[in-house]
Structures are given as C-alpha cells and as structure tokens.
Amino acid sequence: MAALRGSDVLEASQVRILSADGEVIGAGFLVAADVVCTCAHVVTGALGVPDTEESAPGTPVDLDFPLLSGRPRARATVVSWRGGGADVALLRLDAAVEGARPVPLVDGTGVWGHTFRALGYPDGADDGVWASGTLRAGQGAGWVQMEAQEPGPRIEEGFSGAPVWDDAQDGVVGMTVAAHLGERTAYLLPSAELVDERTLRPRCPFQGLAPFTEADAEFFHGREGDTARVHTAVRRRPVTLVAGPSGCGKSSLVRAGVLPRLRAEGMSVSELRPVPGVRAAAVLARALTGILEPELGEVERLARAEELAGLLETGGDVPAELRGGVLARGASAGHVIFVDQFEEYAGAEPAAARGLFGLLAALAGGGLTVLVPVGTTLMAVRAESVGGERFRADSGKYSVSPNGRFVALVTDRRLEVLDASRTRHQSVSLPPPAETVDWIPTWTADSKRIVVWGESGNLYRSYSVQDLRDSVPLDDVVPKAKELDSVTELRGGEVDSVAALQGSEIVLLTVDGRLARVDAADAAVRTRRFLVHPAPNWAGTGLTGEIFVRSQLIARPGHPGQVAAVTRTGTQRGEILLWDVWSQRRVTTLPGPAISVPFATDSFTSALAFDADGSHLAVQNVDGQVMVWDVDRRKQLARSAPRASNDALVGIGSGDSVVTYLSDKKQVQFYDLTGDGASGTLPVAGGNWIAGFVHGHRLTIDTGRLRQTFDLNPDTQFRTLCAAADRDYTEAERKLLPEGTPSQPPCS
C-alpha cells in the first residue's frame, strides 16, 4: 500500500450521491473506511422524501466513487441523522470499497486566509467541477464563510455535501452546506460538527508531543519520501537503522508510515523494547518467547525466557536457529522486529546495547528483518534529493520558495520549477535577455508566484507556480526601464533589486534610488515609484564606483510594509534605509561601514538578513565582517562574525548567531554574537550552495542536487519533552545533548 499524498487522499474519498434512477443529487466523502458524510438534504433529495424529515430514512442510498478506477457503485444506510440547521447525515456502506480512503479531518477554526478546494456536481457537470478560493471566519449560524476565487467556478447547488480541503493544513476543514445564489460566497459546516460520537469515534489528527502509532496512520502526512526510503531499505536489508536526533519523529515515521505498508504487503510485525537494567540476552529472549510460544502464561513465559537467555549467552548459532521458528510463526511475506527506544537503552547501558545489537544482527536474515530507530547527537535532521543532474544541466540563477517547497531556475532561455516534495518539474520558455542583463527569479511571499526580472534591466513577467502557462506581464510597471532594455550603460531607471513583501505583492528598487510596490498577480501598481535616496545623474557620468555594485532590498518580518533598502550610493556609504512603502515614510537610517555586494554565478544572494521577528538585521560589510543591528535601538551588537569575501550570508540563527556558508570548505558556520563568541561548523554534501534560509530553529541548505535540513538547537527537543513530563533530563538524555547545553534542569 503506497503512501498517499494529500490530493490523492482527497480524490480517493470523493462520493456522488445518486437518486434511484442514477441522477447525481450531491456530493459526499469518506470519513472512515465504511462511513460516508454528506448533507441530510442531499439524502432526502436522493430518496425523494421531504426535507423536513426529522427521523433518519430507512431506505438505502445509492452512491458511487467517481474518481476511482471503474467508478465503483455502492449502497449505504443512514446511521446518524441531524436535519435542520446541522444538516448532517452519516451513512454506513454495505461493504468497504477497494481503493477508497477516508480523509483526515482537521481544525475548522482559525482558517482565515487559507486557500481551499472542493469538488461539486452542479447541473450539467455530472463528472464534477473543482472550485477553489479563500476561507474566511465563522458567522452567527456556526458556519465558516468561503469566497470562491475569480475567475473560476462558483460554489452552487450540486456542491452540497462536498468536503472542503484546506491547503495549509492538508486536510478537510468541513463540509459545504450552503451558497449565496449568484454570488461567490458559500458556507461550510466545520469538521468538529460532522462527527457523531455514537457512530464515529472522534479522533484528533494533532498529536502534540505524543508519537504517532499505527492507528494514526491516516493522519500521518508530509513524510512520504522518508517513509518510502525506509520501506525500501527494510525490504532489501536484514538490518535497517533510522538515525536522527531524539524527538525528530523516528518512531512516528516507523509506526505510522512504514509498518502499515509492511503489514499491507503480508509481513508480520513484533515489537521489542529494551529496558535499562535488563541484560541484552534477556531482552531478546523475552521478545522471542512471546513470538514463539504466545500461548504460555505469564509465569511460564518468564521461566522459558530465562532459559532462552542462557542459551543466547552461550554463543554459537542459537540466533540463526531461532530465526526459522520466528519465520514459521510469522506471515508469508516475512517478519519484522521493530526495536523501539533503543537510544535510551544505549545511553544507559552502552555495553549491553552493543551486545543486543550483535544478537539482533545474528538473528536477522532470510526474511527476518530488524528495524531500529537510533538517536544521534548529529544536527542533521534529514536530507532529500531534489533536481539532480537534469535540473542542474544549464547554468542560471536559482531561488528557493519561502515555504521551502519549490526551487526555481532561470537561464537565458527558460524558467524551470521543481516541486521538491513531489519531484514535479515544469518549464516555460523565456526570450533572450537584453545585452549585459541576466534573468533573476524572485518568489512572492506566499510562494504562489515567481517574478522573473532582468538584473539592471526591467521586470518581465510573473508566473503561477501551479501552472507556468498562467503568467502576467510586468514590463509596463516601470515604463522607463522598458525603454532602456537595449541600453548597455546605466541610465537610472533600471530595476536593481526586487523583494517579496506580503501575499503576492513585491517591492522593487531602481538604480536611481526609487521604490515601488506592485501586485505580481495582476500587475497593479499599489504604490508608485518614490525617491528614497538621491542618486547621481547616470547618463554621461562614465565609470564610477557605483557602477560596479548593486542595491540591496529585503522585507522586514513582523512589520508589514517595511523594507530595508540599500541603494548603490548607500552600499559605499554604509547607509541602510528602513522605509514604510505603504505610507512612503522613512522609518530610520542605520549608518555603518561600506556594505559588501555578494557575487555568485548560481544564486542571487543578499548582503542583508533579518531574524524571524525583524528585530535584528545582519549585514555583510566590505571589511570582511558580518555585523548585526538591533534595529529598533539603532545599535550594532558589540561582536561581529568573521567572513571571507566569497562566503554567503545565510541568515540569523537562534540566540543571535550568524549563519554563513563557507564556499571554499563547503561548510555552514555558526558564530555566536552574544555569548562567548564560540563558532561551529557543519559539512554540507551534494555540491555547491545555491540557496539557504533559516526558519525558526531549522536551517535549510539547497545545492540543487540535495536539500539538507539541520536543527540549529537540538536540545530544545529535550526541553519540550522534559517540560511535558515535568521532570529533568535523564542521564541517558544528557549524554545525547549537544556540547554546550546548559547544565541546569530545564524544568526548574
């Protein structure tokens, strides 16, 4: 059973409710393997009974699964009925339908601004029509308002009973129940209102600190690639290790992702959990006794386990001899022994753990597989292949989307976009750029559009990441730059830097020191160009120092409308301008040394980087240092981070640490600016750095071939677990903590 993506699950759950003569009345969807949810008024319409029916109809309802192969039909009986304002009916299938899958129900509150999609069956569209748009908030009746996007289908009669998929949460937030006639406003009943506890046990998809189990497999999404890799390894090797820092989700991955797939393929599974203080042979013997002689009582089992432990400690071929007995008791496709919490055993009993691992390795083979999650002190959380040689075949500029999902590459002839989570590749042709101009890709803040523009040239177009054929021309936004496209010397009107602002809005800075705010989705100019810093009259000035630099521009997180801008003149003077582009007001100026302008052939890097809340700004200076500003206090931190001229500024890590990429060494460096000035490095595999970003305590580095995610503060995982348990670290946990972790109890 392959792991399903969110879109696949949604399609595999879709139901059409039919009348007795086969007419499509409305929609529905699976909420359990044999339970369909729809509107009560859809059921009455299908059965031809009045909408005022207060009791559940006893007549079976006909339905089919239109998006499954062969459109299998089924019948179902109403088992839960809430007419009137609630308008919910739950129907139990006579038999489960092969290939159908229930959807995950997610929180239907606090969804303002989330995008959605829904499949309905209005008149003349029995095969279904997809509608999409934006979710709003709840209203008086308890429904949540939806706004269908324009242009596009409206939600109308025929969408009743349709599940509403929230793209941000990858799950169903509710069921379509009503729509305004002739308008784009419709309403959903939140997911919490769909569950009848007598019929369907309510299950929360949010596990908090609790690990996922096999019973939670339907809610386990987003790690399909990891699941597939571990599953493949288990099927090919006698022993598989799943390594990562404690708390990163190894057990959840195995239990909710891998084990259900193995069981579906005919393998049996047993669990072994070593307990500190119990010798290795006894740990394995207790597990094997339960497999080999499950009919024994507790006392007999303990005695038999002790005998078996003695045999294991004598050495020889005992584990190999036991393997046949385990396989004989297991399923036809083989047997998996899942060893959980091995890292705690290893931390408390290192020698015993080595002995246990040796016994497990001797036991494995011939269809018997051992699967062991192991904890490490390494900071690398995961690495996943993206792109490969084909994606890197042409030289150009790379950019990673703010949500980390997409990688864009522009060459002098093409725009290419890779969906790294699904390995979907799109491309579209670009015209040759003007002489001396390179095409540059810049993502909008919502990761939905890519703006292609010419460095020291003009804006060109913005493209929808869902379909690159959906593009908007932008070359009329700065008309003067359009006129100068074929000019080989700067005149001042050229676009010099572009940054994402919020949503689909971008802000641009021209060579002559002017800012403008533009909506990349429709080319609307929200704020016309205005001067932020006087620049020379470029025409006829000849070669100056400002010719050889470019401006810098970055939006300030947590401060809507604010940007940090450095003009070409400002790079030499060290002037960082904070502007509010909404009100065209200068917020402040941060004076300092001259600013370095990074140069890279494969990426469009920046000399500026804000932290997560916009309170601190890292700046690369030409003196080889990275300084960090306390922006609101207009004060630089006392310590700076060293860098070489060809290093790249990645961002600001936890605790005001500066993160840079050392290109010569292919390493990431962390330099603490507030503590003792300690620095550390991490090796980066997969080629040269093309893009990187810091999000919270996670660092992502993309080389085009490999995307690697690192945990910048792995001890926080232990702090969270400790706080939940209201206790200090155990001695075993402390041994796994990174060097430099504070020694005081985190929960005190």
pLDDT tens figures, 602-620: 556 788 999 888 999 999 8
Segment 12-20 shows an average pLDDT of 93
| Mean pLDDT lowest among 74-78, 243-247, 424-428, 679-683 | 243-247
Q: What is the pLDDT of residue 621?
A: 86
Q: What is the pLDDT of residue 538?
A: 55
| Mean pLDDT lowest among 143-152, 236-245, 278-287, 453-462 | 236-245
Q: What is the pLDDT of residue 499?
A: 94
Segment 199-220 shows an average pLDDT of 54
Residue in 502, 604, 621, 489 with CA at minimum distance from that of residue 559? 502
Segment 250-260 shows an average pLDDT of 79
Q: CA-to-CA distance for 431 and 321, rounded, in angstroms?
A: 69
The model's confidence at residue 679, banded by pLDDT at 50, 70 and 90, is low
Q: What is the pLDDT of residue 245?
A: 52
Chain segment 141-170, per-residue pLDDT in tens = 778 999 999 888 999 989 999 999 988 877
On the question of pLDDT at 84 being above 80, the answer is no
Chain segment 424-461, per-residue pLDDT in tens = 678 899 998 877 678 999 999 999 999 999 877 889 99
Residue in 445, 508, 499 with CA at minimum distance from that of residue 480? 508
Residue length, the chain? 748
Chain segment 690-718, per-residue pLDDT in tens = 677 776 666 777 766 666 666 666 555 44
642 sits in which H/E element: strand 641-642
On the question of pLDDT at 477 being above 60, the answer is yes
On the question of pLDDT at 464 being above 70, the answer is yes
CB 575 within 8 A of CB 533: yes
On the question of pLDDT at 232 being above 80, the answer is yes
Segment 245-250 shows an average pLDDT of 59
For residues 385 and 574, the model is more confident at 574
Q: CA-to-CA distance for 227 and 259, rounded, in angstroms?
A: 9
On the question of pLDDT at 513 being above 60, the answer is yes
Alpha helix stretches (DSSP H) within 349-423: 350-363
Q: Collapsing DSSP states into helix, strand and coil, what is residue 290?
A: helix
For residues 245 and 574, the model is more confident at 574
Segment 230-241 shows an average pLDDT of 80
Which residues make Cβ contacts (< 8 Å) with residue 110, sequence separation at least 6? none
On the question of pLDDT at 724 being above 70, the answer is no
Tokens describing residue 366: 């011939």
Segment 732-743 shows an average pLDDT of 58
Average pLDDT, the chain: 79
| Mean pLDDT lowest among 42-46, 290-294, 525-529 | 290-294
- Output the CA angle 391-409-151, nearest 5 degrees: 115
Q: What is the pLDDT of residue 15?
A: 96
Q: What is the pLDDT of residue 706?
A: 62
492: left (phi over 0), alpha (psi -120 to 50) or beta: left
Segment 270-274 shows an average pLDDT of 85
Segment 210-218 shows an average pLDDT of 57
Alpha-carbon distances of 650 from 361, 600, 670, rounded to whole Å: 42, 13, 10
Alpha-carbon distances of 431 from 307, 399, 410, 434, 459, rounded to whole Å: 78, 19, 11, 9, 13
CB 597 within 8 A of CB 549: yes
For residues 99 and 536, the model is more confident at 99
Which residues make Cβ contacts (< 8 Å) with residue 208, sequence separation at least 6? none
On the question of pLDDT at 23 being above 90, the answer is yes
DSSP 442-510: EE-TTSSEEEEEETTB-EEEEEESS-TT-EEE-TTSSHHHHHTTT-SS--S-SEEEEEEEETTEEEEEE
Q: What is the pLDDT of residue 3?
A: 34
Segment 573-596 shows an average pLDDT of 92
Identify each DSSP E strand in 139-274 by its residue range.
144-148, 163-166, 171-179, 185-190, 239-244, 268-272
On the question of pLDDT at 367 being above 70, the answer is yes
Backbone angles phi, psi at 530, to 5 degrees: -140, 150
Number of H helices, E strands in the chain: 14, 45
Segment 84-90 shows an average pLDDT of 81
Q: What is the pLDDT of residue 554?
A: 94
Q: Rounded to the nearest 10 degrees, what angle do helices 318-329 and 280-292 cross at?
A: 30
Q: What is the pLDDT of residue 713?
A: 61
Bridge pairing between strands 449-454 and 691-695: unpaired
Q: What percent of the chain has pLDDT over 70?
A: 76
| Mean pLDDT lowest among 200-214, 298-312, 384-398 | 200-214
Segment 676-694 shows an average pLDDT of 66
CB 61 within 8 A of CB 41: no
On the question of pLDDT at 173 being above 50, the answer is yes
* Secondary structure, 3-state, 660-714: EEECCCCEEEEEECCCCCCEEEEECCCCCCCEEEEECCEEEEECCCEEEEEECCC
User: Which long-range contacts link 386-394 to residues 24+ away (Cβ below 8 Å)?
Assistant: 386/418, 386/420, 386/423, 386/702, 386/704, 386/705, 386/706, 386/707, 387/418, 387/420, 387/704, 387/705, 388/705, 389/705, 391/416, 391/418, 391/425, 391/704, 391/705, 392/687, 392/704, 392/705
The model's confidence at residue 204, banded by pLDDT at 50, 70 and 90, is very low
Q: What percent of the chain has pLDDT over 90?
A: 27
Residue in 559, 575, 558, 555 with CA at minimum distance from that of residue 567? 575
On the question of pLDDT at 394 being above 80, the answer is no
The whole-model pTM stands at 0.49
Q: What is the pLDDT of residue 65?
A: 95
Q: What is the pLDDT of residue 729?
A: 61
On the question of pLDDT at 242 being above 60, the answer is yes
Segment 665-676 shows an average pLDDT of 74
The DSSP letter of residue 254 is I
Segment 376-389 shows an average pLDDT of 43
Q: What is the pLDDT of residue 648?
A: 80
Q: CA-to-CA distance for 509 and 139, rounded, in angstroms?
A: 42
For residues 36 and 245, the model is more confident at 36
Chain segment 495-506, per-residue pLDDT in tens = 989 999 999 999
Say if residue 118 is exposed, middle or buried (CB neighbours under 10 Å; 0-12, 13-18, 19+): buried
On the question of pLDDT at 371 being above 90, the answer is no
Segment 552-568 shows an average pLDDT of 93
Segment 181-190 shows an average pLDDT of 86
Q: Which of 183-187, 206-210, 257-261, 450-454 has the highest mean pLDDT?
A: 450-454
Segment 589-610 shows an average pLDDT of 76
How far from chain centre, in Å, is Cα 396?
Answer: 26
Q: CA-to-CA distance for 214 and 659, rounded, in angstroms?
A: 39
Q: What is the pLDDT of residue 540?
A: 45
Chain segment 99-128, per-residue pLDDT in tens = 888 888 877 777 888 899 999 999 889 999
